[in-house]
Amino acid sequence: MEVNGLGPYSFPELKNDTFLRAAWGEDTDYTPVWCMRQAGRYLPEFRETRAAQDFFSTCRSPEACCELTLQPLRRFPLDAAIIFSDILVVPQALGMEVTMVPGKGPSFPEPLREERDLERLRDPAAVASELAYVFQAITLTRQRLAGRVPLIGFAGAPWTLMTYMVEGGGSSTMAQAKRWLYQRPKASHRLLRILTDALVPYLVGQVAAGAQALQLFESHAGHLGPQLFNKFALPYIRDVAKRVKSRLQETGLAPVPMIIFAKDGHFALEELAQAGYEVVGLDWTVAPEKARERVGKKVTLQGNLDPCALYAPEEEIRRLVWQMLDDFGPQCYIANLGHGLYPDMDPEHVGAFVDAVHKYSRVLRQN
């Protein structure tokens, strides 16, 4: 069954492993860089490819996902690709209806309102087979990348997925989801367990299909204070890492580095650094040198330029990148933005960001 520890597939040899080496905490010649939402609406070719189909139909087309994943790599010398997909394919696979409303974002016509609504959810063990289209997209993209850079797989963390399923979409307060935590703690834990049980085989399936790293997005960490986070988010974040790693080992798959990105979760940095992930992603509200002091030398940090800095003139972008690289230090570091790219950003400025990271990180290593 197995070929070179890569599961059932034989893929082209990796030519640029800088991102993976940094993720594992090994020394690199320069700082690797990729951008959250690098396959996105800021690229005219992305808008063109996406124009014909609705959002989730695109997600279900391996050919379209592969094309969208590769587009930013044709423009920029990025050090990693991240598969084009969405965190909400997991609630969909659990049987919930999700639509993407243009200009509004995701919408769940029938959100979870009562504990009895949990009965509507499918068996989490069946989720991986529902998401075979993601695995197909990953395998196809790994082949077409031809070993150029590693491919990252991803998923949303349990609390973040729960917020969408209960709120029925985005929310500025997450009041309905938090109401569950306070009024229905048992039901909340039950839902978070269902999500964890769905995520583990989904993430392992991504690795079996060819993903060479995994990122877990806890995008709504900031709506929880330390107490709620430690009770309803962190245990499941830890559990996902622990169970994915042991499942990879049991199935004879090589380990992959795992990244946790908890947006606005700066109050939990120490805990996240000890949650079983090789890399901790930071948003732009955290000072790099303070983050490094708090997490120690054992983990790699990823981030954390304010995405809006890309609206600045290119000269200013270069200055900000220099400052960021200087603050993070040369090793155990992956450059990224502190959140995803926005649709109205200029691709030229994204290019300036990527080039500045490569250029200045080499200069700083010489000094």
The share of the chain scoring above pLDDT 70, in percent, equals: 98
3-state secondary structure the chain: CCCCCCCCCCCCCCCCCHHHHHHCCCCCCCCCECCCCCCCCCCHHHHHHHHCCCHHHHHCCHHHHHHHHHHHHHHCCCCCEECCCCCCHHHHHCCCCCEEECCCEEECCCCCCCHHHHHHCCCHHHHHHHCHHHHHHHHHHHHHHCCCCCEEEEEECHHHHHHHHHHCECCCCCHHHHHHHHHCHHHHHHHHHHHHHHHHHHHHHHHHHCCCEEEEEECCHHHCCHHHHHHHHHHHHHHHHHHHHHHHHHCCCCCCCEEEEECCCHHHHHHHHCCCCCEEECCCCCCHHHHHHHHCCCCEEEEEECHHHHHCCHHHHHHHHHHHHHHHCCCCEEEEECCCCCCCCCHHHHHHHHHHHHHHHHHHHHC
Is the pLDDT assigned to residue 2 strictly greater than 80?
Answer: no
One of 17, 30, 37, 243 is an active-site residue; which one? 37
Q: CA 77, CA 351: separation in Å to the nearest integer?
A: 8
Cβ density class 19-38: b for 16+ within 10 Å, e for less: bbbbbbbeebebbbbbbbbb
Residue 9 lies in a domain: no
261 DSSP β-pair partners: 217, 281
pLDDT confidence of residue 1 = 31
Summarize pLDDT for 216-228 with one digit per residue, the tens. 999 999 999 999 9
pLDDT confidence of residue 8 = 62
Residue 344 lies in a domain: yes
Summarize pLDDT for 245-269 with one digit per residue, the tens. 999 999 999 999 999 999 999 999 9
Statement: the pTM of the whole predicted model exceeds 0.85: yes
Our answer to whether residue 41 is catalytic in this structure is yes
Residue 323 lies in a domain: yes
One of 17, 79, 86, 239 is an active-site residue; which one? 86
One of 9, 21, 41, 319 is an active-site residue; which one? 41
One of 50, 60, 142, 148 is an active-site residue; which one? 50
Q: What is the mean pLDDT of the chain?
A: 96
Summarize pLDDT for 20-41 with one digit per residue, the tens. 999 999 999 999 999 999 999 9
Residue 5 lies in a domain: no
Residue 11 lies in a domain: no
Our answer to whether residue 50 is catalytic in this structure is yes
Residue 223 lies in a domain: yes
The residue-averaged pLDDT of 332-343 equals 98
One of 30, 42, 164, 277 is an active-site residue; which one? 164
Is the pLDDT assigned to residue 242 strictly greater than 50?
Answer: yes
Structural domain total, the chain: 1
Our answer to whether residue 164 is catalytic in this structure is yes
Query: Residue 190 in contact with residue 57, Cβ under 8 Å?
Result: no
CATH code, domain carrying 84: 3.20.20.210
Could you list the residue range(s) of the whole structural domain that residue 298 is in? 17-364
Residue 300 lies in a domain: yes
Residue 358 lies in a domain: yes
Our answer to whether residue 86 is catalytic in this structure is yes
The DSSP bridge pattern shows strands 81-82 and 300-305 to be unpaired
